[in-house]
A and B are shown apart, each in its own frame.
Chain A
Amino acid sequence: MTSSPTSSAALALPVDSIELFESLAKEMNAHPEIYQELGWCDMDFGVIMRRDASTPFAVALHLREYGCEQVTLFESGGNQHLDCWLVGDLDHWQAVFDDIAENGMATGEQTLSSLVLLADRIAVKGHDAMGVDLFFRYNQTLQSIFDGAAALATARQGEGS
């Protein structure tokens, strides 16, 4: 299931940009009340977007306690420092963020857990099973971070009006 964004709720930032993930980190850090309730989350989590005729976009969120300490770019293959990462084509990632922007949160098959279960668009990878485990043990935290994109879409609409 893919969703088309409405003009009133689309992300202004490209999904394959560090600025988007920095904004997600900022959004996370601005809402400790959400993440403290979910419990601490210590992990180095990556997102890899494969792009046609271009190097993949690869970004890491360094999550500590109840927030995101740092957002860094890494070269595909240079993921030794990560616990686990999600990898998929850019258009699938675009669909993930479009769905969040449109609905205020991930819906249907566009949640991280569902995508990974179906594994036909986005897959979870890690160096070992212990690292991959963290994706499931911290899943609600990760989903909440991504759902933060909805607030960015709304805010940008507000800024532009």
Chain B
Amino acid sequence: MGAEDARSDLPEVGPMGMALDWSWLRGVKSEWGVAAKPSARGLTMMDIAVGSYGEIPDVAPLRTMAPRGSAIPEGVPDMGYLLNAKSDVWAQNVAELYEEAVARQWSATSAIPWAELQTLDPDVEHAMCQLCTLLTEVEMIAADLPAKWLWRVNHDFVEAKMFLGTQIMDEMRHTEVFRKRALANGGGLLKAGKGTEELLRTILQAKSFTQASALLHLLGEGFVLDIFRQGELISPTHVEKKMFRMAMQDEARHVAYGTMHLRQAVEADPDVAEEIHEALDVGEGVIAQLTMQPEVFTALAVLLAGGTANVEEKGFPLLQQLMAKMFTSYLARCERAGINRVERTLIPLEMMGIDRSQLAVA
């Protein structure tokens, strides 16, 4: 339907005397006839990325909440968005990750077989509760940070905003599930951490979204993903195993977004790499302190040893081995994001038994 299809049959003035606008009835600038077709899963965000609706601008032309692809009248208020370039927030897989997040939501109330929790050795229960205290403390940062930036993201990048919305929900659920586990078996919440709070403040105070994403998605959530993987390994029962696996799935999605977003940002502007490096220079120091924090280290070691009896013989060596893997996988993620940290990292690799030259070769 084109603009030439005038509707002279419709009134120009409404019943209360106001001028009427029927231009939308002629389609304005819409691509009339371009119909998004559902795929096997239903009508996904990828399915509706048709015609000009699927074109993501490199720089948003306006700063309004008007939907991308709509006809925007003159004089629409400026919302003051700060993130107006695609490279500020986009990731090539963001629409797929959003759909995946929506499809794979779960309930901390009903998805975990809480009724099957078992009475554990008191030392192991304490260690699990200490780990859950830490995770309850850190998980909300991954909701607070996207929430802090969300309203500053231009509405033209709505898929990225939607994904960040799912991340916020995921992290609420993680806070919930670890708090529930701490309280469900008689142990309760144990010691919060000073070092933990310093890391959280460093992330929250990042100057740009890209720096924040590097600190949160690449560094913080990458490490938490590895802690979830360790948690699954050291879980005393199938109840905790499922809890960690479900959380791990969500966290891997967030890390996948962050990694691909940072790659996109660096490809669009190689100078951004230095900005990311600077953030990670600070973040790595804090996270190294966090992993060495006595209450974190000891709780993980007790869980790995299956109790306090073998903590020195089994717990410490295994934890050291897993921590080396954790830092190695972090450096691999950086590489994948287009940020080579092998030479620059401030993490004491040699102290952790990681051969820097091997990483450089890899």
Contacts and interface: CB of A to CB of B under 8 A. Distances in A.
Q: Do the two chains belong together in a single complex?
A: yes
Interface of A: 37-40, 64-65, 105, 107, 109, 111, 113-114, 117-119, 129-130, 133, 136-140, 143
Closest 4 CB pairs of A and B: A39-B104, A136-B252, A39-B103, A114-B233
Contacts of A140: 242, 245-246, 249
Nearest to B110: A37
B314 interface: no
A105 B113 CA distance: 14
Interface in B96-146: 100, 103-106, 111
Contact of A107 (B105, B111, B230, B238): B238
B233 A109 contact: yes
A137 B111 contact: no
B262 interface: no
A40 B249 CA distance: 13
Contacts of A40: 41, 100, 103-104
B152 interface: no
12 contacts: A40-B41, A65-B41, A107-B238, A109-B233, A117-B230, A118-B233, A129-B332, A130-B93, A133-B252, A137-B253, A139-B245, A139-B248
Contacts of B333: 129
A74 B249 CA distance: 28
B228 to A, nearest CB: 9
Nearest to B93: A130
Contacts of A117: 229-230, 232-233, 322, 325
Interface of B: 40-41, 93, 100, 103-106, 111, 225, 229-230, 232-233, 238, 241-242, 245-246, 248-249, 252-253, 255-256, 259, 322, 325, 332-333, 336
A145 B119 CA distance: 28
B232 A114 contact: yes
Contacts of A113: 229, 232-233, 245, 248
Given A111-B241, A117-B233, A65 B40 contact: yes
Contacts of A114: 232-233
A136 B241 contact: no
A137 B229 contact: no
A12 B41 CA distance: 36
Given A113-B248, A143-B245, A133 B41 contact: no
Given A39-B103, A111-B241, A113-B232, A137 B256 contact: yes
Nearest to B234: A114
A36 to B, nearest CB: 9
B40 A64 contact: yes
Contacts of A143: 245
Nearest to A133: B256
Given A107-B238, A113-B248, A137 B232 contact: no
B232 to A, nearest CB: 5
A1 to B, nearest CB: 10
Given A113-B232, A117-B233, A39 B245 contact: no
Contacts of B256: 130, 133, 137
Contact of B336 (A65, A111, A129): A129
Nearest to A137: B252
Contacts of A65: 40-41
Contacts of B106: 37-39
Contacts of A139: 245, 248-249, 252
A129 B331 CA distance: 13
B24 to A, nearest CB: 36
Contacts of B255: 133
Contact of A137 (B41, B100, B259): B100
A149 to B, nearest CB: 15
Contacts of B249: 136-140
A83 B106 CA distance: 24
B232 A38 contact: no
A137 B103 CA distance: 12
Contacts of B230: 117
Nearest to A140: B245
Given A40-B41, A133-B252, A136-B225, 17 more contacts: A38-B104, A39-B104, A40-B104, A65-B40, A105-B238, A111-B232, A113-B229, A113-B232, A117-B229, A117-B232, A118-B233, A119-B325, A129-B336, A130-B256, A136-B249, A139-B248, A143-B245
